[in-house]
Amino acid sequence: MTRTQNTPRPTPRTAARAARARDDLVRALLTRLDSIDVESAVTSAGSADSLAARMVSTLPGAGPLNAEVGPFFDTPALTRWLGITRQALGKRVQNGSLLCVKTADNHLLYPAFQFDETRTGLPRLADVLDLLAEKDRTDAWQAALWLNSDGDDLDGLTPAQALRVGRESEVIDLARQAGALWRN
């Protein structure tokens, strides 16, 4: 990827984290490739490059807020990954069990941090989003950033990480406090 004037320069911490993530992904892919008929998959796709392009197209995309919020899925990629329709995705957003942010050019994106490797969403996300802001004033970007902010209140975990490890009541309390401050 060529760096442009608008692309932020990666910090050493961000670059090291990206390299570790890449290495982890390659190891995980190699492990999973051992369990399938790779030759048939490549033949079916037409070429190894074509298969790789299809695989990469389902990965969460890159963006300027990746360092703070993580990578994002767009609607087609997330519906494929979850195996659901656009309508089902919309219902999840509407009931608060799925966080969706809108870009300045009205594209809908779904932060990948809210899913684990089994495609399970964050526990109690709807409750947290309800507490962070009033329904008609919800700023999804602000909520996404809050869910990924490190803090002393959770022993260095982000609220999203704390939800994932069963510390829902602490996160709910912090979301209530943050929501009250944001509404004032």
Span 126-140, pLDDT tens digits: 999 999 976 555 589
**What is the mean predicted confidence (pLDDT) over 113-136?**
88
pLDDT bin (cut points 50, 70, 90) of residue 12 is low
**What is the mean predicted confidence (pLDDT) over 156-171?**
95
Name which of 133, 145, 121 is nearest 179 in CA terms: 133
Residue with tokens 């995309």: 61
pLDDT bin (cut points 50, 70, 90) of residue 36 is confident
Q: Which carries the bigger pLDDT value, residue 5 or residue 21? A: 21
CA dihedral 175, 181, 183, 184 (to 10 degrees): 170
**Torsion region of 53: left, alpha or beta (phi above 0 gives left; psi -120 to 50 gives alpha):** alpha
Mean pLDDT, all residues of the chain = 83
Q: Which carries the bigger pLDDT value, residue 28 or residue 166? A: 166
For residue 112, how many other CB atoms are within 10 A of its CB?
18
Residue 65, pLDDT > 70, answer: no
Residue 178, pLDDT > 80, answer: yes
**What is the mean predicted confidence (pLDDT) over 22-36?**
86
State the pTM of this model: 0.67
Residue 59, pLDDT > 70, answer: no
Residue 110, pLDDT > 90, answer: yes
What pLDDT does 35 receive? 87
Residue 95, pLDDT > 50, answer: yes
pLDDT bin (cut points 50, 70, 90) of residue 8 is very low
**What is the mean predicted confidence (pLDDT) over 18-47?**
84
What type of residue sits at position 65? Answer: L
